[in-house]
């Protein structure tokens, strides 16, 4: 049997949610599939799992921002946070701080001497596996500790 793609897994979960009449989950997954389809149209090809992870990352980021903006409406903010948690289930395992530090150090030793060069070198390999803000914080700390430019 062929291996199921991430997009296929989301589609299967959407169908299961519809059968079980889970309105919120159905709405979330159909929205994500629409975002994936829009990105496919934009790029002109079917997305690979890595590209689907990028779309999911954007969906998570948007929902986190929406939750922050809805501080005065706790029930809506909580719904956004619940959606973030549901979407995280489709993401690859996240790297820990020590793993990120190791990758940052390797990039610095390979010649990335400022924050722009460093982020440009490490983000492609960390995409979907680490939060960009967290990576940036660790990179800046590491550069500062080594006396390099930031």
pLDDT in tens, 79-105: 999 999 999 999 988 888 899 899 988
CATH 1.10.1510.10 in the chain, residue ranges: 6-88
> Do 6 and 90 form a contact (C-beta atoms < 8 A)?
yes
Report the predicted TM-score, pTM, of the whole model to 2 decimal places.
Answer: 0.75
pLDDT value at 127 more than 90: no
CATH 1.10.10.410 in the chain, residue ranges: 97-145
DSSP secondary structure, the chain, as one string:
-PPPPHHHHHHHHHHHHHHTT-HHHHHHHHHHHHHHHHHHHHHTSPPPHHHHHHHHHHHHHHHHHHHHHTTT-HHHHHHHHHHHHHHHTTSPPPPPHHHHHHHHHHHHHTT--SHHHHHHHHHHHHTTTS-HHHHHHHHHHHHHHTT---
**What residues contact residue 118 under an 8 Å CB cut-off, 6+ apart?**
104, 107, 108, 112, 139, 143
Instruction: Give the mean pLDDT of 44-58.
Output: 92
Q: Is the dihedral of CA 7, 86, 79, 55 positive or negative?
A: negative
- pLDDT at position 111 is 79
- pLDDT at position 36 is 97
> Do 115 and 144 form a contact (C-beta atoms < 8 A)?
no
- pLDDT at position 148 is 52
For domain 97-145, is the CATH number 3.40.50.300?
Answer: no
Total Cβ atoms within 10 A of residue 71 = 9
Measure the CA–CA gap between 19 and 29, rounded to whole angstroms: 13
Question: Superfamily assignment of 6-88 in CATH?
Answer: Uncharacterised protein YqeY/AIM41, N-terminal domain (1.10.1510.10)
């Amino acid at each position: 049997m062929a291996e199921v793609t991430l997009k296929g897994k989301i589609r299967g979960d959407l169908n299961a949610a519809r059968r079980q009449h889970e309105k919120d989950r159905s709405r979330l997954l159909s929205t994500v599939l629409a975002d994936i389809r829009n990105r496919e149209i934009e790029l002109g090809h079917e997305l690979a799992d890595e590209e689907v992870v990028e779309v999911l990352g954007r969906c998570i980021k948007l929902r986190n921002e929406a939750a922050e903006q809805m501080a005065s409406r706790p029930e809506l903010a909580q719904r956004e946070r619940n959606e973030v948690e549901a979407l995280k289930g489709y993401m690859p395992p996240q790297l820990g701080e020590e793993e990120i530090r190791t990758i940052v150090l390797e990039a610095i030793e390979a010649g990335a001497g400022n924050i722009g060069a460093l982020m440009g070198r490490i983000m492609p390999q960390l995409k979907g596996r680490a939060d960009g803000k967290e990576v940036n914080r660790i990179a800046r700390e590491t550069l500062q500790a080594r006396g390099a430019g930031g």
